[in-house]
């Protein structure tokens, strides 16, 4: 893979991706990284079971022809700022953030490793994240929250790695009924685009466009021109008028610059 000048890509997965040999999303990631010539770095910072996670992904990537796989655990800020982490990321053609607890990934925000990722992404690196690793890639990271109401108390957020600008990414979206959580997050910061990704589903971001891949649906919440009235208390419902909601199955496209969806050429319309 030539990563000397072409802009990179991001593959952002809603979690629970198929890990069988030939599985669509991971196979696409391996191909983008260079196939048999890929050099993939697996970032296991988010998980509490790094050995098991490494073994699982090592098995599937080996079956997909990838022979060079390194791991970064980065337990704290010192690790994220280290020469070792920077050198490992600098030598990769692809970086994959595992799932787990996204709060553990806050240690990377503003770090040397994050800066290396941004620089390499501009020159052809492929970055992927699943579940917790997916939400960390946005400008704002969803750290938790639940409930059926749209309110300030329904979501907790913090700064993300910012590899996808002006975005909030949520995962396991349809399976865990997280539309109220995403609406709450977007209502608190309407300038951010809300992107909810179902399991075994991903978005492939190239430039200002993303394409939906996988078996589920991507939900996009756009409140940029909405009317938002915040309640007196955090647990009280937020008033929200004029929100745009888009449901995008596989093959659909979305333009970040114009905030418009489209049916892609490979989409089955019937």
pLDDT digit string (tens) for 103-131?
999 999 999 999 999 999 999 999 999 99
Residue-level pLDDT at 20: 82
Q: Please name the residue that has the structure tokens 């991971």.
A: 26
Catalytic residue among 113, 151, 172, 184: 172
Residue-level pLDDT at 109: 98
Instruction: In whole angstroms, give the CA distance from residue 31 to residue 71.
Output: 19
Q: Which residues lie closer than 8 Å to 83 by C-beta, 6 or more apart?
A: none
Instruction: In whole angstroms, give the CA distance from residue 214 to residue 249.
Output: 8
Residue-level pLDDT at 266: 61
What topology does CATH give the domain 9-263? Answer: Rossmann fold (3.40.50)
Cβ neighbourhood burial of 176 (10 Å; 0-12, 13-18, 19+): middle
Which segments in the chain show pLDDT lower than 50? 1-5, 269-270
Cβ neighbourhood burial of 228 (10 Å; 0-12, 13-18, 19+): middle
Catalytic residue among 149, 215, 230, 246: 149
Helices 24-33 and 50-63: crossing angle in degrees, nearest 10, is 80
Q: Which residues lie closer than 8 Å to 256 by C-beta, 6 or more apart?
A: 165, 166, 167, 193, 208, 209, 210
Is 131 labeled as catalytic in the residue annotation? yes
Catalytic residue among 98, 111, 113, 131: 131
Residue-level pLDDT at 1: 35
Q: Buried (b) or exposed (e) across 238-260, using 16+ Cβ within 10 A?
A: bebeebeebebbbebbbebeeee
pLDDT tens digits, residue range 181-225? 999 999 999 999 999 999 999 999 999 999 999 999 999 999 999
Is 113 labeled as catalytic in the residue annotation? no
Residue-level pLDDT at 264: 84
Is 27 labeled as catalytic in the residue annotation? no
Residue-level pLDDT at 2: 38
Residue-level pLDDT at 21: 56
């Amino acid at each position: 893979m030539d990563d000397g000048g072409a802009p990179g890509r991001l593959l952002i997965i809603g979690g629970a991706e198929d890990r069988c040999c030939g599985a669509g999303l991971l196979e696409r990631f391996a191909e983008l990284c260079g196939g048999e010539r890929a050099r993939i770095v697996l970032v296991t910072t988010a998980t509490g079971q790094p050995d098991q996670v490494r073994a699982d992904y090592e098995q599937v990537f080996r079956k997909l022809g990838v022979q060079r796989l390194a791991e970064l655990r980065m337990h704290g800020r010192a690790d994220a700022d280290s020469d070792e982490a920077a050198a490992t990321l600098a030598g990769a053609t692809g970086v994959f953030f595992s799932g787990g607890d996204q709060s553990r990934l806050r240690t990377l925000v503003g770090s040397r490793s994050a800066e290396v990722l941004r620089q390499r992404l501009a020159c052809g690196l492929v970055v992927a994240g699943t579940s917790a690793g997916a939400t960390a890639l946005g400008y704002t990271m969803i750290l938790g929250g639940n409930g059926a109401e749209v309110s300030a108390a329904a979501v907790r957020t913090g700064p993300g790695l910012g590899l996808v600008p002006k975005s909030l990414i949520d995962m396991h979206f349809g399976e865990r009924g997280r539309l109220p959580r995403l609406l709450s997050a977007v209502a608190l910061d309407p300038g951010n685009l809300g992107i909810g990704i179902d399991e075994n589903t991903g978005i492939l971001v190239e430039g200002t466009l993303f394409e939906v891949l996988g078996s589920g649906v991507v939900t996009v919440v756009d409140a940029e021109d909405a009317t938002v009235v915040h309640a007196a208390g955090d647990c009280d419902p937020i008033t929200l008028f004029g929100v745009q909601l888009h449901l995008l199955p596989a093959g659909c496209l979305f333009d970040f610059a114009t905030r418009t969806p489209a049916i892609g050429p490979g989409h089955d319309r019937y």
